[in-house]
Structure 1
C-alpha cells in the first residue's frame, strides 16, 4: 500500500480510503467486519463514514457497526484514521442537523459514543451550511479540538469560495483550518477543476473524491450489461446521456488491458491534489479488485486520451475568459 500526507498535515493515510456507506443497508455486520479487517491486511488505514449512514434517521447504523468492530480490540482503532461527517438531520427537532455550534457539539458526542472511541481523526462538514457563519463553525470545532475529541477538520461538498471563506476565518483565529475537501470528482464530473481544486491546492487541502466510478458508469457498465446484468432506471438514463463517452472509455480500457473501474481510480490517483479516492466495496472480492488500481501506471499519452474522451476544465477564469 502507498501512503501520502493528508493535505498539508503530517498525518499519513493510505492512497485508497475505505468508504463504509454500504455497511448496514447493503452489507451485513459480519461482512462489514470482514471487509474492515481485510482492509487493514491490505494496508488501508483511512476509513470514511458519516453519522447519517445507514439511512434510518437518528440511528447512526454504520457508525454503530464501526464502533462494535473497534470494540473487538486487536489494535483496530489504533490502526485506523477514522473520518466521519455531520450535517444531515439526525432527528426531527430544529437543531438536529446542520452546522450550528449546538449541533456540532451534540453530533460529535453522539458519533464518539456510537463508534466507541474517545476521538475522531478527521471531522468533516458533510455540506456547507449557509445559515451558520464560519466564526461559529470554527469556535465550535476549536472547542472540540481543545477537548481532544477531534484532531483535524475537513469539508465536503464545499465550493471554492466556501473553502476560501473558511480558511480566511481560520487564519484570523490562528488555527489550522480545513485540511481536506471531500468532493464529487471523477472522469465524468470534472467541474471541481474550475475552482474547488485550485482553492484546495492554494490552501493546502487534500482532495478526497467521492463516487470515483460515477455511480458505476465508469466501472465497466457496458460489459456487465452484455453479460446479462440489468441497470437501474436511473443508471440506464445516465448511460444514455453519456453512451458515446462510455463506449470510447471501455474501448480504451481494453486497449490498455485494464479494468475500467481500475482505470477510473488510477486516473484520480494521478491527479496531484488527490489524497485518496473513496472506494465502497460491498464484498471482500470487490475490495481485492479495487486495490489493483494502485498498480496501474498512466503515461502522458494515456492521460491525454482520457482528457479527449472526458474533457476537463481549465482553472477559472481562464476556462471561460482570457
Structure 2
C-alpha cells in the first residue's frame, strides 16, 4: 500500500480509501466485516462513511440511516486494537430525523450529529469530520465555532468538506485563518474521467490552500467499469445508466478499446488516472465484495504513460484547463 499526507497535514492516509456507503444498504454486516478485514490486511487505513449511509428508514425495515456507522462500530468493538490502525472519517449535513434542526450545519445540529455518530461508531473520536455539503444559510463563524468546540473536547481531529465550490473553499479557509485554525484538511468531490468540472476552480483552490482532494464516484457510477463488455455478456444496466451509455457510446467504445490495448481493466485505468493527478490524496473505493476490493488496489501498480494520458484526454476531454484561462484570453 502507498501512503501520502492528507493535504498539508501531517496525517498519512492510504492512496486507496475504503468507502462504506454500501454498508447496510447493499451489503449486510457479515459481508461488510469481511471487506473491512481485507482492507486492513491490504494496508488500507482510511475508512470513509457518513451518518446518512445505510439506506432510508422504512416502516418494514429495522435499519436505515446510520446503519453504515453502526456496522463499522460493531466491527471496531470486535477488536478494540483496530481503532488505532485506521483513520476514521464520517460526515454531517444530511437530515437524520424530521425536525427542523435535524439537518445542515448549524452549531446545534453539528454538536448533536457528532454525538450520535460517536455512539454509532462506538468510538470517542472521529479523525476526519466532513461537511457533506455546503450550507450557505449558516455563517462560517458559527460553523467554525462548532468545530472548534468539538476539537477542544477531543471528539474530532480534522475537518473536511464535500461537494464545495471553489469559492466556498476559499471563504471557509479565510474565516478559519481569522480564527487561527487549520481549516479544511480535505475536500471530497465528484471527480472522474466523465466528470471533470472540478478542474476549473475546485482543484486550483485546493492546491492554493494545501487541501487534499478525495474523489468520489471514481468509475462514474459504473460507467467506467467496462459497462459495454458487461452488457455484451448479458448483464443489464439500470435505466438511468443505460441512458448515459447510449449518450456516451462512442466515447465508451474508444475507452474500452484503449483499456484492451493496455491490457488493463477499465475500472483500474479510471482509478489510476485519478491517482496520477498530484492534487489527489486518496481515491474512494466502495467495493461490494472482497474480490472487488483486491482488484481496485491493483490500480496502485498501473502506470499510465504521457501518451496514454493524452489519449484519455481526447476521449474524455476536460473543461479546457483551469479558470479563467479555460474560457478567457
Measure the CA separation in 1 of the matches of 2:65 and 2:187.
26
Tell me the equivalent position of 2:195.
189
Task: For structure 2, list consecutive stretches of 5 or more residues without a partner in the other structure.
Answer: 58-63
The alignment status of 1:292 with 2:285, answered yes or no, reads: no
Once the 2 structures are TM-superposed, how far is the Cα of residue 59 of structure 1 from its aligned partner? 4.0
Per-residue Cα deviation, 1:125-155 (whole angstroms, up to 9, x for no partner): 0000111111111000000000000000000
Tell me the equivalent position of 1:133.
139
Tell me the equivalent position of 1:256.
262
Measure the CA separation in 2 of the matches of 1:88 and 1:293.
32
Measure the CA separation in 2 of the matches of 1:74 and 1:179.
26
TM-score relative to the length of structure 2: 0.97
Tell me the equivalent position of 1:216.
222
The alignment status of 1:317 with 2:324, answered yes or no, reads: yes
Tell me the equivalent position of 2:162.
156
Measure the CA separation in 2 of the matches of 1:147 and 1:51.
20
Tell me the equivalent position of 1:20.
20
Measure the CA separation in 2 of the matches of 1:119 and 1:75.
14
The alignment status of 1:271 with 2:277, answered yes or no, reads: yes
Cα RMSD for the two superposed structures: 0.8
Tell me the equivalent position of 2:179.
173
TM-score relative to the length of structure 1: 0.99
Measure the CA separation in 2 of the matches of 1:150 and 1:43.
23
Tell me the equivalent position of 2:148.
142
Measure the CA separation in 2 of the matches of 1:76 and 1:226.
42
| 3-state SS, counterpart of residue 98 of structure 1 | coil
Judge conservation of contact 2:163–2:187 (CA < 8 Å) in 1. yes
Judge conservation of contact 2:24–2:55 (CA < 8 Å) in 1. no
Tell me the equivalent position of 2:246.
240
Tell me the equivalent position of 2:61.
none
The alignment status of 1:31 with 2:37, answered yes or no, reads: no
Measure the CA separation in 2 of the matches of 1:307 and 1:33.
38
Once the 2 structures are TM-superposed, how far is the Cα of residue 23 of structure 1 from its aligned partner? 0.6
Measure the CA separation in 1 of the matches of 2:218 and 2:5.
20
Measure the CA separation in 2 of the matches of 1:203 and 1:258.
35
Pairing 1:27-176 to 2, within 5 Å after superposition: 27-57=27-57, 59-73=65-79, 75-176=81-182
Task: For structure 1, list consecutive stretches of 5 or more residues without a partner in the other structure.
Answer: none
